Chain A
């Protein structure tokens, strides 16, 4: 039985090997009612993870539970309760959007016609237009409509905002925000645009070259990373000592000004900098993009 306590996703030690790419030991936890943003450059493994979760690809190793159902044994239930949207899904070009809506409606008893009508308006789509005439953005929105109106308990959205113009992007994000009104529904969405992820996600997961760089709740993520600027007599030995501090992910200097990006820039760290003879002039939060790039470059997970 799936309850609010059953996690939407629980992944342990997921492994998948290809000739030229591999997913290494991926752990994921998504509690029900939350949104997780999967951030990574192209080729990081975001789509592969989604395809494994929905059962399109088989994992080589690891245990995967989706809404309490084991993959792949629980396939039938998973396909019923999970909505998956990806850019490579094809729609029938010669048919209208209405035809597609009726088709999905005939398969999924939970189809919500009133909600579908609202989404049509929100996305500014015409139900009786054939798909051939749809722009890229309209096609993405049509796909989302077809999935959202089923009211799936878990949404797996592979790059839902990529390639959309700013107006369409906001429309899609608004539709996602609406999903979160229901505490039983959860979302995993991937993007290489950290801005989209930053606003909506409860949990952020960074993926780089098939490895998990970090997976943490967004608020503690954003509040632990800091950009620290300090001044002092800067020589190589000092810079080396600063770089050796475990919190420091990046350190560079321009003359006597030193800029640090640190995983935990709290009081203890600051007093240690002062002990090295440095005067701190600025301590400020970093945005997700900066944190992502910094942690990927630093190469380590925390």
Chain B
């Protein structure tokens, strides 16, 4: 009975992407392991009080991003791939990068200025991050 999606009442994110997020979270946490069967579309829809077509769309998108695999007539399963977290981090990076470029555009920053800012903050980030790493190693 615990397989149900919790929806936000204030978040404007479409329901299908909230479903995707929920499934992803449960895969990343390890509730659902690679190869494990997911609840059927109809089951999950009914339990979450959302239409079948919405869950279907979420599953299709999850399939496209490689999080799950669907075997026709059998059901959907968590994909066996191990590099899921990396892929997600990559997506997050791309989104932020795009956001930064847009903001730079708003400010009218030339390309050289953008790369310089990135370069400088990378340098300060790295010098800040390195000793921290060494400190944890020593422990």
Given contacts A219-B57, A222-B14, contact A201 B46 (CB under 8 A): no
Question: By the criterion of a CB under 8 Å from any partner CB, how many residues of chain B are at the interface?
Answer: 18
Give the Cβ gap from B21 to chain A, nearest Cβ, in Å: 16
Name A's interface SS: mixed
Q: Which of B43, B49, B54 contacts A173 (CB 8 A)?
A: B49
Instruction: List CB contacts (< 8 Å) of A10-44 with chain B.
Output: 33-35
Find the residue from B48, B52, B56 having the highest chain A CB count within 10 A: B52
- The interface bits of chain B over 1-24 (1 if a CB of A lies within 8 angstroms of the residue's CB, else 0) are 000000000001011100000000
| Interchain CB contact under 8 A, B51 and A181 | no
Instruction: List CB contacts (< 8 Å) of B52-67 with chain A.
Output: 52-54, 56-57
Name B's interface SS: helix
Q: How long is the Cα–Cα vector from A217 to B54 in the complex, in angstroms? A: 10
Given contacts A180-B42, A181-B43, contact A35 B51 (CB under 8 A): yes
| Interchain CB contact under 8 A, B57 and A199 | no
List residues of chain A with CB within 8 A of the CB of B56: 219
| Interchain CB contact under 8 A, B14 and A180 | no
| Interchain CB contact under 8 A, B49 and A202 | no
Q: How long is the Cα–Cα vector from A232 to B45 in the complex, in angstroms? A: 44
Given contacts A217-B53, A218-B53, contact A199 B15 (CB under 8 A): yes
Q: Which of B12, B14, B46 contacts A177 (CB 8 A)?
A: B46
A183 sits at the interface (CB 8 A)? yes
| Interchain CB contact under 8 A, B42 and A201 | no
Give the Cβ gap from B8 to chain A, nearest Cβ, in Å: 12
Q: Which of B16, B47, B49 contacts A200 (CB 8 A)?
A: B49
How many A-B contacts are there with CB distance less than 8 Å? 50
| Interchain CB contact under 8 A, A219 and B49 | no
Q: Which of A183, A199, A284 contacts B42 (CB 8 A)?
A: A183
| Interchain CB contact under 8 A, A219 and B50 | no
Give the Cβ gap from B22 to chain A, nearest Cβ, in Å: 15
List residues of chain B with CB within 8 A of the CB of A178: 46
List residues of chain A with CB within 8 A of the CB of B51: 35, 180, 199-202, 218
Interface size class on chain A is 20 to 34
List residues of chain A with CB within 8 A of the CB of B12: 284-285, 287
Given contacts A35-B51, A200-B49, A219-B53, contact A181 B42 (CB under 8 A): yes
List residues of chain B with CB within 8 A of the CB of A34: 52-53
Given contacts A219-B16, A222-B14, A285-B14, contact A181 B46 (CB under 8 A): yes
Q: How long is the Cα–Cα vector from A177 to B4 in the complex, in angstroms? A: 12
| Interchain CB contact under 8 A, B49 and A199 | yes
- A35 to chain B: closest residue by CB: B51
Q: How long is the Cα–Cα vector from A233 to B12 in the complex, in angstroms? A: 30
- A174 to chain B: closest residue by CB: B49
Which A residues lie at the B interface, using CB under 8 A? 33-35, 173-174, 177-178, 180-181, 183, 199-203, 217-219, 222-223, 284-285, 287
Which B residues lie at the A interface, using CB under 8 A? 12, 14-16, 42-43, 45-54, 56-57
24 example contacts (A-B, Cβ-Cβ < 8 A) are as follows: A33-B52, A35-B51, A173-B49, A177-B45, A177-B46, A177-B47, A177-B50, A178-B46, A180-B42, A180-B45, A180-B46, A180-B52, A199-B15, A200-B49, A200-B51, A201-B51, A202-B53, A217-B53, A219-B16, A219-B56, A222-B14, A284-B12, A285-B12, A287-B12
List 10 extra interface pairs beyond A199-B50, A219-B16, CB under 8 A. A35-B51, A177-B47, A177-B50, A180-B45, A180-B46, A180-B52, A200-B51, A202-B51, A218-B51, A287-B12
